[in-house]
Amino acid sequence: MSLIVKNLSYTYNRGMPTETAALFDISLEVDRGDILSVVGHTGSGKSTLAQHLNGLIIPQSGDVCVDGVAVKAKSRDLRKVRREVGLVFQYPEQQIFAETVEEEIAFGPFNWGFRGEDLHSKVVNALQMIGLDESYLQRSPFTLSGGQKRRLAIASVLSSDPSYIVLDEPTAGLDAKGARDLISILQSRAGCGTGVVHITHDFELALRISTRILILENGRQVSCGTPRDTAELLRKRHVEGLMLPDVLKFSFELKERGFINSIAWDPAELAKIIAGAC
């Protein structure tokens, strides 16, 4: 049971003068409970990839397969796929429409056929996941703060209990605390067995929270591996528009000069390595 992408390629406006290739030959696999971070510069194809994962874009070539169900044009399974894979767009608070927080969160599960007590418990559950209490249920979503709106939008996807959740730059535009709160929501979701695909251009964050990291450069897959393998690879290869954390760069330098044998991106870990080497 996993979300599998195989040799996926996609070109926008195929056959028109404005044709632009967005993805070439991408392959990845996400298991439930994993956090896969997709890292790349603006325009590297991250968002196009995200929309493939729940069938909003049908693959032109290659396959997308969710728990054994393939995403195909006009297939009845498309809704099944969308039910299993929740997609949170960039600035998801812009999709908010309902008069109350309750109605907003209930929109998803209601569409999937939940009613009455089931529906209510799903709403309350999702509200708890994002750290808000039931007193918020009757408030208008438009009165919430920026960070709360963002979390509400994410709750409105989580409320459908998707097996996988794909988030496109979920921390964009949030302050440090808002971003931290959000990341801990993602981590606790993964802990409960949800597969998380986290799209970001913050490589430091990706190293910190992911089980695997996929790096995109101009629509091509540079690598897909554990944070350690990825960091090791980036010691030798430059990737366009990717900012390496200073601590990691520092450990590269130290290793280059023969002071230490392994690399690290966490300050405490690097300190430990240096202490061990002295």
Tell me whether residue 165 or residue 222 sits nearer to other proteins (CB atom). 165
Given a contact cutoff of 8 angstroms between Cβ atoms, the answer to whether 148 and 132 are in contact is yes
d(CA 156, CA 57) in angstroms, rounded, equals: 22
Least distance in Å: CB of 8 to other proteins?
Answer: 16
- At residue 198, φ and ψ (nearest 5 deg) are -120, 115
C-alpha torsion 133→134→135→138, nearest 10: 130
Among candidate residues 79, 80, 141, the one with its CA nearest the CA of residue 105: 141
Among candidate residues 187, 155, 182, the one with its CA nearest the CA of residue 169: 182
Taking CA 32 as the corner, what is the angle to CA 190 and CA 178, rounded to the nearest 5 degrees? 25
For the record, the structure tokens of 139 come out as 């408030």
Quick count: other Cβ atoms within 10 Å of Cβ 65? 16
Catalytic residue among 84, 93, 102, 169: 169
Tell me whether residue 186 or residue 244 sits nearer to other proteins (CB atom). 186
Residue 269 appears among annotated catalytic residues: no
- Angle formed by the axes of helices 116-129 and 146-158, nearest 10°: 140
Least distance in Å: CB of 230 to other proteins?
Answer: 28
38's enclosing H/E stretch is strand 35-40
Residue type, 207: L
Tell me whether residue 150 or residue 212 sits nearer to other proteins (CB atom). 150
Give Cα separations from 257 to 24, 248, 251, 262, 274 (angstroms): 37, 14, 10, 12, 13
Tell me whether residue 58 or residue 274 sits nearer to other proteins (CB atom). 58
Tell me whether residue 94 or residue 184 sits nearer to other proteins (CB atom). 94
Least distance in Å: CB of 157 to other proteins?
Answer: 6
Tell me whether residue 18 or residue 145 sits nearer to other proteins (CB atom). 18
Least distance in Å: CB of 136 to other proteins?
Answer: 19
Least distance in Å: CB of 199 to other proteins?
Answer: 14
Residue numbers of the site for other proteins (CB under 8 A)? 16-18, 51, 54, 56-57, 79, 82-83, 86-89, 92, 94-98, 107-108, 110-112, 142, 156-157, 160
Least distance in Å: CB of 210 to other proteins?
Answer: 22
Contacts of residue 222, Cβ cutoff 8 Å, sequence gap at least 6: 215, 216, 233, 237, 239
Cite the active site residues.
169
